């Protein structure tokens, strides 16, 4: 198992040749010990089932996924990992995106002044780009969805 080098850190690997049933032990200076073998990779998840409801609640208040991750005490990459490993959390995040858009639209419609309107429109362009972005993309195809073909004809001079 490769480890990054840390200046001043001394590592000793002890393998008991008489008892190969025990996994090797990596001992760090001052008695800290890391064992590996049949242990699962990575650190244990911080995910708790109640985070699904909490995330939905935060997003329904208008918080982004990044802000929701912060409210839950993790980074946004951890939040994304939880959506891959926990179907109920993925559902909560998708529902939260819709609830966030609804919250932003409601506050836009009730906005009393220009700065609030501008900030809500900006947030909606990021939260729901398919519905709120200024630029529209149009794709053109030929007959039955085939690629378009063009014949280039050069004009004759004179």
**In this predicted structure, what is the pLDDT of residue 28?**
47
> Cα–Cα distance between 45 and 48 in angstroms, integer?
8
Helix (H) or strand (E) holding 8: none
Query: Which residues 6+ apart lie within 8 Å of 143 measured at CB?
Result: none
Tens of pLDDT, residue by residue, the chain (158 residues)? 445 555 555 555 555 555 555 555 544 444 444 444 444 556 788 999 999 999 999 999 999 999 999 999 999 999 999 999 999 999 999 999 999 999 999 999 998 888 889 998 999 998 988 888 887 677 778 778 888 877 888 877 76
pTM: 0.58
**In this predicted structure, what is the pLDDT of residue 18?**
57
What sign results for the dihedral spanned by CA atoms 43, 49, 54, 56? positive
**In this predicted structure, what is the pLDDT of residue 33?**
42
Q: List, in sequence order, every residue forming a beta bridge with 47; answer none if it has no partner.
A: none
**In this predicted structure, what is the pLDDT of residue 138?**
73
3-state secondary structure of 81: helix
Q: What are 43's two structure tokens?
A: 């650190």
Under 8 Å between Cβ of 55 and 42: no
3-state secondary structure of 25: strand
């Amino acid at each position: 198992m490769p480890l990054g080098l840390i200046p001043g850190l001394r590592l000793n690997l002890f393998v008991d040749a008489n008892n190969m049933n025990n996994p090797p032990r990596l001992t760090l200076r001052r008695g800290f010990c890391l064992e590996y073998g049949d242990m699962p990779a990575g650190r244990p998840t911080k995910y708790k089932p109640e985070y699904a409801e909490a995330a939905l609640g935060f997003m329904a208040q208008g918080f982004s996924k990044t802000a929701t991750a912060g409210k839950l005490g993790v980074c946004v990459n951890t939040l994304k990992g939880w959506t891959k490993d926990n179907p109920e959390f993925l559902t909560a995040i998708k529902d939260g995106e819709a609830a966030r858009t609804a919250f932003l639209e409601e506050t836009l419609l009730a906005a009393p002044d220009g700065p609030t309107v501008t900030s809500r429109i900006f947030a909606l362009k990021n939260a729901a780009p398919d519905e709120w972005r200024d630029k529209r993309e149009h794709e053109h195809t030929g007959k039955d969805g085939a690629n378009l073909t063009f014949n280039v004809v050069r004009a004759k001079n004179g």
